[in-house]
Amino acid sequence: MPEDASLAHTAPGNPSFGFLRAVGAIVWKDLAAELRSRELISAMLVFALLVILIFNFALELDAKARASVTAGVLWVTFAFAGTLGLNRSMAMEKDRGCLDGLLLAPVDRSAIYFGKAIGNLIFMFIVEIIVLPVYSVLYNTNLFQPGLLLVIVLGSVGYTVVGTLLASMAVQTRTRDVLLPILLFPVAIPVFIAAVKASSGFLQGIELAEILPWLNLLITYDVIFTAVAFMVFDYVVEE
Amino acid sequence: MIEVRKLTKRFGMKTVLRSLDFHVEPGEFVALLGPNGAGKTTFLRILASLSRPSMGEVKIASYRLPSQAAAVRRRLGVVSHLPLLYGDLTAEENLIFFGRMYTVANLNRRVSEVLELVGLSARRHDLVRTFSRGMQQRLAIGRAVLHDPEVILFDEPHTGLDQDASLMLDNVLRQVAAMGRTIVMTSHDLARSADLASRFDVLSRGAIAASVRRNEINPNDLLAFYRRAIQEN
């Protein structure tokens, strides 16, 4: 039974289910909107492909040198393309006041954060899935190694988790396009260092024991920043 | 329905609302009038739980803000001069999305009812970015009433609308008011407010300067009442 007449159209339910439902609704909304406009993924993809193409011409490398720079080039590409996507994703919420529309919903605000973060992560994965084979062909390097793919997943999660939080902060300012990378890159340095070291380790066939500390750092970073974002998002978006 | 006592809002050194008192009975339609910079939008954003009060007490439907914000938001609909809608989703998809966020029961049926209410059933499958400003604003009202809230806040809903679109919006507003919902609407347009509201409050320099019910004033005297309230404050 609804509590009162005003809630006649509101279904009663489990709060945890409501949280997951809100997260799912936001992810669905982001994917549906992107499927129509293709603004975000196409911008990220074109940018990422241009970056690896430019590096390919700029660095005329032999096989050994190629193996040592691949991890760096790959993560620079993901970082730049990711920043573009994060900025666009939050700008879409701000343009027509949609962020206020989301904040007015009677759900825990961390559900809004997780919905946006999962959507951004999906976009990042789509770009990575396309960039990896192109990179493999251009640089004649096999990137389809389970260890490397694990690093890419962990690194992308860390980057997106902190990036979504900072993008929601930056989007409230007039200089949001400039501000996001300035805020994000210093905070994401541990992710880049760990991801580059671990990726390089897998590409050069270094023993797992030597790579493990970097993987642990990535996992720790992901867990800590997910918890931090969960706790502070409410304060970040409120006036 | 709405009780505000000694509400103060500061942004840094600037005080926008000064010890403001405001009270609205269930079913009232209050037009909040005032010049630019009077604090109307800031006040509405606090009522909508989008901004925290610096001091004072705000209660909506007996729930306190900001501590019981989720309960307030469940009972609240908001229409601002921005549509708060996604241009790359259709009208129907927008309502389905917001319906999921509000856990609206029998969502598909409710979406059809609301589209009918705002006169957009025929355009339900069209992208919102192809809509005129007036149609977007009507759909924004549909979004705000989708979960059948007790209180609806309108922040200058007529901004940017031409005459025909404003008249259509007025019809939708009257229908919503006829459902017995409590409405607070900020506006610059005295003639339009006189036609719609049951009470007129003048907000000037961050406080309510004057208040009058529709049955206590001749609509033709509203401009004089408004000017006097601004000058005296």
User: Tell me, what's the pLDDT at B56?
Assistant: 93
User: Tell me, what's the pLDDT at A92?
Assistant: 86
Q: CA-CA distance, B85 to B135, in Å (whole number)?
A: 12
Contact residues, B window 202-231, toward A, CB-based 8 Å cutoff: none
User: Tell me, what's the pLDDT at A7?
Assistant: 56
Instruction: Note whether A106 contacts B50, CB cutoff 8 Å.
Output: no
**Measured between alpha carbons, how far is residue B69 from residues A17, A18, A21, A135, B148 in Å?**
19, 16, 19, 49, 17
User: Tell me, what's the pLDDT at A167?
Assistant: 93
Mean confidence (pLDDT) of chain A = 88
Instruction: Note whether A102 contacts B101, CB cutoff 8 Å.
Output: yes
User: Tell me, what's the pLDDT at A15?
Assistant: 61
A20: left (phi over 0), alpha (psi -120 to 50) or beta: alpha
% of chain B with per-residue pLDDT over 70 = 100
Statement: residue B183 has pLDDT above 60: yes
Indicate the Cα dihedral angle A88, A90, A96, A102, nearest 10°.
Answer: 150
Statement: residue A176 has pLDDT above 90: no
Q: CA-CA distance, A154 to A4, in Å (whole number)?
A: 46
Statement: residue B170 has pLDDT above 90: no
Q: CA-CA distance, A105 to A199, in Å (whole number)?
A: 41
**Measured between alpha carbons, how far is residue A64 from residues A56, A70, A139, A195, B138 in Å?**
15, 10, 12, 20, 63
User: Tell me, what's the pLDDT at B171?
Assistant: 84
User: Tell me, what's the pLDDT at A10?
Assistant: 64
Q: What is the mean pLDDT of residues B173-186?
A: 88
Nearest to A25 among B50, B97, B150 (CB): B97
Mean confidence (pLDDT) of chain B = 90
Indicate the Cα dihedral angle B112, B117, B119, B125, nearest 10°.
Answer: -20
% of chain A with per-residue pLDDT over 90 = 64
Tell me which of A63-72, B70-79, B194-203 is least confident: A63-72
- Among A90-99, A159-168, B196-205, name the most confident range: A159-168
Question: pLDDT tens across A77-117, in order?
Answer: 999 999 999 998 988 888 888 999 999 999 999 999 999 99
B186: left (phi over 0), alpha (psi -120 to 50) or beta: beta
Instruction: Note whether B85 contacts A6, CB cutoff 8 Å.
Output: no
Question: pLDDT tens across A25-58, in order?
Answer: 999 999 999 999 888 999 999 999 999 988 888 8
User: Tell me, what's the pLDDT at A14?
Assistant: 63
Q: For testing the chain A interface, which of B88, B129, B182 should be mutated: the one with the most A CBs within 10 Å?
A: B88
Instruction: Note whether A29 contacts B97, CB cutoff 8 Å.
Output: yes
Chain B residues whose beta carbon lies within 8 Å of the beta carbon of residue A96: 82-87
The alpha-carbon gap from A185 to the nearest alpha carbon of chain B, in Å, equals: 29
Phi, psi of A57, deg, nearest 5: -80, -35
Instruction: Note whether B84 contacts A101, CB cutoff 8 Å.
Output: yes
The alpha-carbon gap from B227 to the nearest alpha carbon of chain A, in Å, equals: 32
User: Tell me, what's the pLDDT at A160?
Assistant: 96
Q: What is the mean pLDDT of residues B200-209?
A: 91
User: Tell me, what's the pLDDT at A2?
Assistant: 39
The alpha-carbon gap from B131 to the nearest alpha carbon of chain A, in Å, equals: 13
Q: What is the mean pLDDT of residues A178-183?
A: 91
